[in-house]
Every structure is written in structure tokens, then in C-alpha cells.
Structure 1
């Protein structure tokens, strides 16, 4: 009986080891956001880490000396304990390039809907202006009338969000190239159905996607921000639940009016 029992224990250990190896193999595939890569340090000087009590929650991007654009849903819990960090590559390591700011006011678009994440865009006014340099600078964003990327065009996003559906978070900024998906596909019932609106772009690629914690970051086309990372499926990288991005140019009047205040 003892021999049989020991054999069973060895079998259980082997099964656990096999499961662990499979898990590690899966994690190793996901080298960036989901299927992306680490950014060259400070090659995206507009990136902002929005942190609550020192922990990264969402992304954002600098659009003017005192203004960061992000997603409205990133501020559902208010701004207590929230700081904006600019000039970062690593979230934990000390970097002379880092600048930290408190928030003066968050302006969430009035039409933002938690039901489908329509109009998921916010502007954050910091309490002081950023010191603009090689590691911190503003990103150009698209205005009304400018051409949006078309289905099949390659677009890029960046952030410190989860590397995979297990919730593994990176310490350094990651980026990923995805492709714009035709809107008629994203509005199909087996994709997003009626939740997909004219204020959204959907984009992804096989095993490449933005993920939890990337919300608020930019979607870039030809080095211009055309979208704000908004929402997607419960699992990142899922074929029929590609990443959703708010179309910035649909909100030009609101952006200009808000930033004049």
C-alpha cells in the first residue's frame, strides 16, 4: 500500500509540474501588452502612468503642457490618491526623467456610457505644467475631418497593462502593433453587436491586443493619436472581442472647449 501511495504522490507532482510548464510557456509567448514588446526607453515621451496610491491603474498621454488625455472609465472611483507620472519607462525603478503631478480637474465626456463605453474619453488638467524635454513631450492628436486609418491599416498602442489574461503586469512600458478591423464586423452580434458605436474603432491581430491597465493610452496611426484605448472583451487577444478605441476626432469641439477653460 505504501508503494502505491508514493506512486500516486509522484504522479500528482508530475501533473502539477506539467501544468506549471504549460503556464510558463504561455506567459513567455506574451512578451508585451499581449503579444507585443518592450518599448525603447523614453521613445514615447508622451506616455502617462495614472496611479492610485502608487499603483498603476490606467494609461494616458500628454497633449499639452498641463493636459493629459485618457479614458473616462479610468476615473469612476474619483481622484483620491491619484497621481500622474510622466517621463517613466520603469514603474518601480528611480529615473531622473520622471515627473509626478497631482490632478486639478478631470473632465469626463458627458455622453460617456458605462453600459457600452461609448464616448469613453477624458481630459485631465494637472495642478502644474510639465517640464517639456526629451523624455516628456506632447503628442499630436487627430482633429475633425482628418482621415481615419482604414481596415487593414497597422496602428500601434502602448502601456503598462497586463501581459496576458493571467494578470501578469510588466514593470516597463510595452507596445504592440495591431490592425484596424472593418466596423461592420465589430458590430455583428457575435462580436459587439449594438454596443459598437460610430465613436469606436476596433483593432487587434492574432494574439496581439491591449489589455487590462492599458486603458486611456493612445492608439497611434502615422505617429498621431487617433484613438483612446477603451475596452474590449473579458479576455485579451480573443478573436471576436478585439480591442475598442474611442475615436478622438469625433470629440474635437469638446476637447478644444475643455482645454480653453
Structure 2
């Protein structure tokens, strides 16, 4: 057990919660020494961050026999430091990991842990697998991963520049899986940032913007929800085009309007949408072309 003097000692250590080096109080410390001929000390410490009060475990392995003088009364002892939970310096983890699909989240978090643990071969494979998981979740098919990455771009889920970056991660993962090649730690950190940029764009930003910003209405389900909301402002028997129903919201269809209108017509004909019926084809608001009108029921 540590003494009261030891408890008052402090050490500068990386805090996983503060995401930086902070002063920690040493709450408890125990030293194991191994070898009679070659001495190595392993110091086990329970430490508490003075900033966020988070408690963690710290292990310091000191190579006593390799110590060398750096000043008249000072020696440097080579040491390796391990913190638990492990910390990835220079990286801020995503705050909204819970918003990711389960399989994508599982592979991503395991990849991050592999990088923290310096398991660079597994980390390279994991980052590549994260791309595969995203393709599976978004139903992007392809016989090989390079085709699926191109498919993400063609589907409008990522830009061409993003696709080129993902191919770099594919190369990294292939080298790890097929050549058992250990990726450089700095390169893994860059690859992780690319993956997180992808996750934020595809999943997290959509969740944050939904219901808060006027995003583009892409899906039929989104279209019907907005339509039913707008219909409450009209009376039974009103015969109007969708442009009248949606008003300023028409800007949110940006290239998808014709698809949504056809979907609505098909749903009305099939009897699946009963709050409107088909009306006349007529001009609207001085237009030269005719618009499909709908009767509120």
C-alpha cells in the first residue's frame, strides 16, 4: 500500500477524458523489481486527473541497468509508459458513435482500439473492414471493394476526392491482410481521420440536421411525411397542385420533385394514399405548362 506521502505525489500524464497531458495525483503506487543480474522496475499506479477527476491506471517500466548520467547529480532512466484506458494522442474520438449502425460502430471502435494498442496490422485490416461495413449498410454492391468505393461515389454518398482517399485505405488494408505488413502509426492516424470524416458525413451530420435544418427531401418516406403535414392547411375539396401545397418547401426537392410526384400518383391509383385524389391537369400561377392537380379528401 502507498503511504500518505506517495498519495500526495503528482505526475504529468495523458488523460483520456481531457484528451491532453494533465497533472495527476498518484493515489496508489506499487513497484515490482525483476532480475538479480539485470534490474527492471515496473511501477503500477492508480492516478486521478486534477482537471476532470477521472481515475485511471498507469504502468511505468524502467530499465534501471540502461540508466545514464545527464547532469552531475542526475541520471536518466529509460522507461516505457502505458495508460489504461489507452489514449491515442492527437486524436479526438467521435462524440456521436451511438448514432452509427451497430456493425459499423463495432468495427470502427475495434479499429480505434487496435491503433491505441499499437496493433497496427489489425488496425489496417479494421479500417478497411469499416469501409466494407458502410457499403453493406448502404446497400452499395460490387464484386470487389474498389468497385464498392466507386459505387459510394456514384450514389452521391461521397465525393470523388473522398473516394480517392478511401482507395488509399483499401491499399493499406490489403497490405496488412495479404502481406502481413505493419502500417506506420502516423499513416494509420491519417487513415482514421479519413474514416471518421466519412462516418460524420454519411451518418452523424444527417442525424443532427434532421428536423433542425431544411435538408433536401430525397426519399419517398420523407416526402409523404412533409406532404401530410402541409395538407392540414387546406380544406376538403380544394383542388391544387403540389407547388401550392408545399409553397416555399418546393426548394427542398431539388432534382427529386418529378420522382416524388410520380410516386404520389402511383400511390393514389393503387389506393395506398387516400388523403388526396387525382384532379385536373391545368396551368398554375400564370405558368405556360400544365401541372397535375390534386383534390383534398
Compute the TM-score of the two structures, normalised by the length of structure 2.
0.18
Higher Cα radius of gyration:
2
Higher helix share: 2
